[in-house]
Amino acid sequence: MNRLAGETSPYLRQHQDNPVDWHPWGDDAFAEARDRDVPVLLSVGYSACHWCHVMAHESFEDPATAKVMNELFVNVKVDREERPDVDSVYMDAVQAMTGHGGWPMTVFLTPDGRPFFGGTYFPPSARGGLPAFTDLLRAVDEAWRNKRDELFEQAEHLSDAIAVRSTVSVGDRGDLGPAILEGGYSQLREMFDAENGGFGRAPKFPMPSNVDFVLRTFVRNGSEATVGMATTTLDAMAAGGIYDHLGGGFHRYSVDPYWLVPHFEKMLYDQAGLLRVYTHAWQVTGADRYAQVVEETVEYVLRDLRSPAGGICSAEDADSEGEEGRFYVWSLDELPEASARWFGASAAGNFEGRNILNRMSAREQLLRSSELSLERSELLLARSERVRPGLDDKVLTEWNAMFLSALAEAGAAMQRPDWVATAEEVADFLLANLRGEDGRWLRSWQESAGARVLAYAVDYAWLVDAFTRLAEATGRRRWIDEAAAAADGLLDLFRDDEGEGFFTVGRDGEELIVRQKDVFDGATPSANSVAAVALIRLGALTGVERYTAAGEGVLQLLRPTMEKQPSAFSHALAAVDLVVSGVTEVAVVGERPDLVRAVQQRFVPNGVLAWGEPYESPLWEGRVDGLAYVCKGYVCKAPVDSADALVLELAGP
């Protein structure tokens, strides 16, 4: 019916049979809009978005609505996960117009790409203060024909507003001191929900970077109140309905403040971020319940999201059989007696007459008896017979790198060589399928369509982080070489040569109406935050000053805004900590697995580890086999040859 059948994005292919004459984003669509002298209707969403599906069923599958769309507009469908650059630009426009944003996103553009009106979801008939979608379409068409000068003026104002929002200028270079770290911690402490865990009010997103920063702060201050913020949050999430107690892994967010009722989609990026932070919590506390969450999250991803080709798929939908959450909820009579008691199930249920499984009544008691473990396996098997939610089977470089980075770190910490090996397999898949022969990385791969879309700064930044973590987990020089190659690509393609930091789109990428920099940390860390951490760590491992300088340059770019609103930069604050506290450089020379293990099992948030195959770096110069060396701030401690002595050095100032 339209042009979406050959796309890599499952979200776009879901719309291939719509009566709407959809175009993918590209020059052809805008050329047709110019030829026909009509606006572009841009619709942005993603595969696991519940309300995107609702609007599709109500409007895009309706022949009468499609007829109006096709007559009056050139219609363009975009997957926000595949084209975060397009999404970000026009989301800024919608937020400037309406004060809020979200998906599905609906934006009307001039044929040269400038937005003049937009919003999010629009219903088929007027309700809740929203106009009927077809009424809106006709109103926009009428304005286009009769009030075009006003629309062009609005487009000019919006484009200027987007440009202002996209401009981040470096001021006078200032001190990256501990005050920024203390400010970030203070803001998170004020936002902290001491009863339910998490930060702020409902809806509650996991925000693993926030929790990780709190654990990092605990290493500095040793306060029980600080570590309590982290454990309360992690316990509440792992006990709530946002966690899948049968299959492992986390849903995207909770609609209530208690973490009970989730939006049921599962995103790979959440699994990656939470895998890392629960690993760190296990390292800090030694609590077996956190190890259980880590193990079950890894099991979920490798069982249900890994593609046969070797990459990790992006997400699972919230809906199955036309109902949100149907796959995950249970009636009381479907549950064995012990499990019903354990999960607090009732005949009335806690979600539309059925039960979302949870342990909120005893949230620190997550470890199961052998009987409960057996029943869990039986329930998981029974659930597998249900109609599964839809799988978004595109493989994104960014999210795969996030996950393999966390998996490598968890595998090293918990001494799971199978996890480390799997992380290497995912890395090999990315190298074979998402890096071109010229070395240029691509963003998205799908088995039937191959790889498309030039990778963005965030893809490169996470690749640097992932390959560096693989080097630390495996001791293989190969991964340091790959990290350096990705870092070189990041600097060459994305760095702002007239300022600091990194643009979202490479200098060889498509020019949109503005060239943005991704700076704020949200549900996922920003490209610039990830780059700062990854480059500073890589610089410490290799001694290459341009990596360190570029990472610290990002912090100078962010510093003025971080000083005012540090909690919006929780991942970037990790890079600030690397600078303020200094990187702890550890080199284990020769075959000393006991010394390597002593480092990997500890939470050393500012530490980097060189071991195994030597590579070009000051960390290897003049070092003697069989010893471990710990250096910080251009000062090295005495080499040690025992794990106990090494642990003492790591714990010291």
* Amino acid letter, 42: L
Query: Coil, strand or helix: which one is 628?
Result: strand
pLDDT at residue 163, as a whole number: 83
Q: pLDDT of 454-472, one tens digit each? A: 999 999 999 999 999 999 9
Structure tokens at 388: 């599964």
> 542 falls in which pLDDT band (50, 70, 90)?
very high
Structure tokens at 21: 């004459």
Closest CA to 269 of 402, 392, 103, 422: 402
Listed in sequence order, the residues at least 6 apart from 240 whose beta carbon sits closer than 8 Å to its beta carbon are: 254, 258, 259, 260, 262, 358, 360, 363
Q: Is a pLDDT exceeding 90 seen at residue 616?
A: yes
- Strand 40-45 vs strand 74-79: parallel, antiparallel, or unpaired? parallel
Long-range CB pairs of 161-166, under 8 A, 24+ apart, other chains included: 161/92, 161/93, 161/96, 162/89, 162/92, 162/93, 162/96, 162/115, 162/513, 162/514, 163/513, 163/514, 165/92, 165/96, 166/89, 166/92, 166/514, 166/515, 166/516, 166/517
Closest CA to 419 of 299, 322, 334, 539: 299
**Whole-number mean pLDDT of the chain?**
94
Q: Is a pLDDT exceeding 80 seen at residue 254?
A: yes
User: Percent of the chain having pLDDT more than 90?
Assistant: 88
Q: Is a pLDDT exceeding 70 seen at residue 111?
A: yes
The CATH number that domain 10-166 falls under is 3.40.30.10
> 652 falls in which pLDDT band (50, 70, 90)?
confident
Sign of the dihedral defined by the CA atoms of residues 252, 256, 257, 259, in that order: negative
User: Percent of the chain having pLDDT more than 70?
Assistant: 98
Structure tokens at 559: 């510093």
What is the residue extent of each domain of the chain?
Answer: 10-166, 176-392, 394-581, 584-651
**Torsions phi, psi for 78 (to 5 deg):** -130, 135
pLDDT at residue 578, as a whole number: 96
pLDDT at residue 573, as a whole number: 97
Q: Is a pLDDT exceeding 90 seen at residue 310?
A: yes
Are 311 and 395 within 8 A, CB to CB?
Answer: yes
Give the C-alpha separation, 237 to 245, whole Å: 11
* Amino acid letter, 318: A
CATH 1.50.10.20 is the classification of domain 394-581 = yes
pTM over 0.75: yes
> 172 falls in which pLDDT band (50, 70, 90)?
low
Q: Is a pLDDT exceeding 80 seen at residue 170?
A: no
Query: Coil, strand or helix: which one is 257?
Result: coil
To which residue do tokens 């990290």 refer?
Answer: 483
